[in-house]
Structures are given as structure tokens and as C-alpha cells.
Structure 1
Amino acid sequence: MRCIAVDDEKWALDLLVDNIRHVPYLELVARCKNARDASESLHAGKIDLIFTDVQMPGLNGLQFIQTLPEPPMVILVTAYEQYALEGFNLSVVDYLVKPVALERFIKACNKAKLLFDMRTEKSTKAVSIPDHIFINVEYSLVKIIFDDITHVEGLKDYIKIHLSSASKPILTRMSMKAMEEKLSPSKFIRIHKSFIVAVDKVTSIKRDFVCIHETEIPVGESFKESIKLITGNRK
């Protein structure tokens, strides 16, 4: 975990830095003597954990934490016990009172490491994004791969799904709205009340038509802005 140490007293900062060096999973990125130095370190790169004193000139440690829109994890290291409640109200990981024994310091770091691992595991879990749907076609469920779709055509209570791999479209009872909700908006654009096109299948664009090879698909008057999304020209 990347961390910074903040304390206005040199001897206290030296001791804090020495304790950090005893914890193998901590990487000390910067030692800071005030909140301004700490802010500069936060802007310079990603920081996972802040060790900070409370009483410092200018912004104190608690005030400094409150200025951060998305603060990293924080462990307060201070000579004063009276700030503990305020500190925990700011969701600090732990509150250490100087002088801090090394075993107590490591215990606080272990709490931060456990929280860090939990957050990392949660954020790195792959979100399963489906690449297909199953639709009802004549009493059967047919698998449709999204990347195979060239465009979707609406016909009252039915839709036609046109595929690259088939010469004939697939007809199913479904509304355009229901189908649109199943398609990724980054890959499919509605260009008409009756047509949705796959952006990467568009081969050319005319004034009032989008072309997928030889197929011309009309652009509805109220969907003209969609052309900008297809071309990437949003101005």
C-alpha cells in the first residue's frame, strides 16, 4: 500500500517513518511536515493510506481530512486522546496515541491492509457483461450474439433482428423499447422510431440514411443527433 506520513515535528516524523519501514506491505511515498505538503503528495499520485498527526500549524490533521473529496484510508497518530471521537466520525481506520509501541502500530496497519484487500477484491471482480440474449422464435429459444446484429427493425408488436451471419432476419414478438434496453448504448444507436443500428456495422452515411453495405436505413427527423454519436462528431 502506498502511504504518506504527516507530522510537523521532525522527531515524531522520523519515528513514524521508522515504524512504517517495519511493515513490509507499506510503501512510503512521501514524508510531509504539514497539510500543504500532504496535499501536494496526494495530487502527485495515488495514495492508499495517510498517517497524520492532528495538531499541526495551518490546517490540523482533522481539518485536512475534511478537505479531501475522496480521502484515502487514514490512521491518526497524535499525542492527544480527546480527538478520538471526532476522528472516528471521519471514518479513520485507527487512532494511535503517542508514544506508539511498534506492535500497536502494526496492528493498526493490519486493519488498514484488511480493509484495502477487501476494497481491492471488490473493485477487481470482473463484471459479467452478457454477449448474447435468448429470444422466443416459433416456440424455441434462439441465441442471438450481440456482435452478430447489424440492425433491428420494428414492426408494431414484432421486431426483425438482422444478422451478419444470416440471409434472413429473425422475427420475434418484442417491442423496440424492450430490445433497446438489452443493447449496449455504446454499440447500438436508435436512428429512427423503427430502427436501431450497430455502430460498428455502419459502412457509410448519407443525408437521410445510414448504410450497412447495400442496405439503406432511414434516419428519423427527431434522431438526427444520433448521427453525431455514430461519427464521433459531437459538435
Structure 2
Amino acid sequence: MGTRVIIVDDEPLAISVIEGYLQRIPGINIIATFNDGLPAFEFLQENEVDIMFLDVEMPKLTGIELVRSLQNPPAVIITSANKDYAIEGFDLNVSDYILKPITFERLLRAISKVKESLAYKKNAENPTEKQYIIFKENKKNIRVRLDDILYFESIKDYVKVVTKDKNIVTKLSIASIEEKLDKSMFIRVHRSFIVSLKHIDSYSSVSIGIGEVEIPIGRVFKEEVIETLESKLY
């Protein structure tokens, strides 16, 4: 069946652009489009939806009002020409905030992020799915909860795994660890660092703060890191 998507926007051209982009992405099923929030609200009461692309300024029922009215909303990607609703979007826990005009590359990144988040949520709800990772230290296998990991630091041929209550040093490359991690939970910010998104306390254009530790943002990673963090803020 694929990922079930609806589009809510009072501009026919905007709906057409989003539809055209989504049709280029495998596994996406556009099940409905609406030019106002009210019929979208009624549809959502009766149908399962995974992702909703949502404009803000619409007659009858705005995008913000629509999200507030839903008890169990789908993942929401706001699409707006106006930055002013970003804080409200953040308060409503939207998945992403895309400024118009929308490019295919930007929409694809948003879809990828949401699909990863949906997959993680599904795994978290299923206790049989992986919630731990095992590291070898001094011939001992140590099981670590993914939620407890703050960051990874590469030190020559080893990686230090920093958790809430202990550090583990294992003989692995940081690249091999990155391949095993859920990208909705962790992000590579530097050639020597991977951080847990949920444990980030602060950030600037050059560093990330986790507790009292300042982790540098590498030049080649900067654009993706800042974009990811700002989309979380929005």
C-alpha cells in the first residue's frame, strides 16, 4: 500500500507541484487532496494517513487550527511561504517545515526524514524490534540502550561510546557504527563525532552542546546538520 499521503492547500498550483514531486518517489500513495482544512479534518476522522502536507493560511479552517483539532494527527509537513508560523509549528510538534517555493530535493529530504521517524516509532512500539546495540570492550560484549547514548567519538582506531552513566571504548570505525544507526535518532556532525538528536541541549553554527560538552560541527557536515536541527525546531 505504501506511505499514505494527503495534501491540504488552498492553492491548486501548490497541490500540483507537490503531487508531481511525490509521484517521483517510490512507495508514496497520494490518497486525497483538499483545498481547505475542514474537509481534510472530516477525512482524517475516517481514514488512516501517514503524512499530511499542510499549508497554513486557508479559509474556514487554517492549517494550525486543523492540527490542533486532531487528537492523533499524522506526521505533518507544513508548506508555507511565511516563516512566521514556525514557532507554532514547533509547539505542535510538526515533522518538518518547508518554505515555498518548494524544490524536489527539499521535499525528498523531508519525506526521507519522516519515513525514518515512522519506522523508528513502529520499532519502538514493537518490543521485539532492536532497541539496543552491542559493543565489544576488552573481550566483553556490552549491551547499550540506544536511548541512553549521548554521542560517539572517534579516537584513532577506536570509538568512544558516551552514555548517560558510562563510557565504552570499542575497536570499530565511526563509519561502521554510523551505518547501523537509525538516522531519525543520530546524526553525523563531524568526521569524529555522531550525536544523539534527542540529547542535544543547544547548538550554534559551529558546535553542538550536550550537557557541558561542546562538540564541533565539521565543515562538510554543516549544511545538513543545521538544516536537520532547524527542521526539528520548526
Q: Does 1:61 align with 2:77?
A: no
- How far apart, in 2, do the equivalents of 1:125 and 1:49 lie? 24
Which of 97, 107, 110 does residue 108 from structure 1 map onto? 110
Secondary structure at the aligned position of 1:18 is classed as helix
**Structure 1 counterpart of 2:47:** 45
- The 5 A counterparts of 1:123-202 are 123-126=125-128
Offset at 1:124?
3.1
Which of 66, 90, 96 does residue 94 from structure 1 map onto? 96
Structure of higher CA gyration radius: 1
- How far apart, in 1, do the equivalents of 2:5 and 2:108 lie? 14
**Structure 2 counterpart of 1:157:** none
Secondary structure at the aligned position of 2:5 is classed as strand
Question: What's the Cα RMSD here?
Answer: 1.5
Moved more, 51-60 or 116-125: 116-125
- How far apart, in 2, do the equivalents of 1:41 and 1:22 lie? 25
* Structure 1 stretches of 4+ moved >4 Å: none
**Structure 1 counterpart of 2:120:** 118
Identity of aligned pairs, percent? 33
- How far apart, in 1, do the equivalents of 2:19 and 2:68 lie? 24
Q: Does 1:34 align with 2:36?
A: yes
Q: Does 1:83 align with 2:80?
A: no
- How far apart, in 1, do the equivalents of 2:84 and 2:126 lie? 38
1:192-213 alpha-carbon deviations (Å, 9 max, x no partner): xxxxxxxxxxxxxxxxxxxxxx
**Structure 1 counterpart of 2:199:** none
Offset at 1:25?
2.6
Offset at 1:26?
1.9
- How far apart, in 1, do the equivalents of 2:85 and 2:125 lie? 32
Secondary structure at the aligned position of 1:14 is classed as helix
Offset at 1:126?
4.6
Aligned length: 127
Secondary structure at the aligned position of 2:89 is classed as helix
The residue type paired with residue 2 of structure 1 is: R
- How far apart, in 1, do the equivalents of 2:46 and 2:71 lie? 16
1:48-80 alpha-carbon deviations (Å, 9 max, x no partner): 111010000011101110000111110000111
Offset at 1:39?
1.5
Calculate the TM-score normalised by the size of structure 1.
0.52
On the 8 A contact 1:17/1:31 being kept in 2, the answer is no
Offset at 1:123?
2.2
Moved more, 34-43 or 101-110: 34-43
- How far apart, in 1, do the equivalents of 2:15 and 2:39 lie? 13
The residue type paired with residue 13 of structure 2 is: W
Calculate the TM-score normalised by the size of structure 2.
0.52
- How far apart, in 1, do the equivalents of 2:87 and 2:9 lie? 20
User: Which ranges of structure 1 fall in alignment gaps of 5 or more residues?
Assistant: 128-235
The residue type paired with residue 40 of structure 2 is: A
Secondary structure at the aligned position of 1:23 is classed as coil
**Structure 2 counterpart of 1:130:** none
- How far apart, in 1, do the equivalents of 2:120 and 2:104 lie? 24
The residue type paired with residue 11 of structure 2 is: E
On the 8 A contact 1:5/1:50 being kept in 2, the answer is yes
- How far apart, in 2, do the equivalents of 1:88 and 1:18 lie? 27
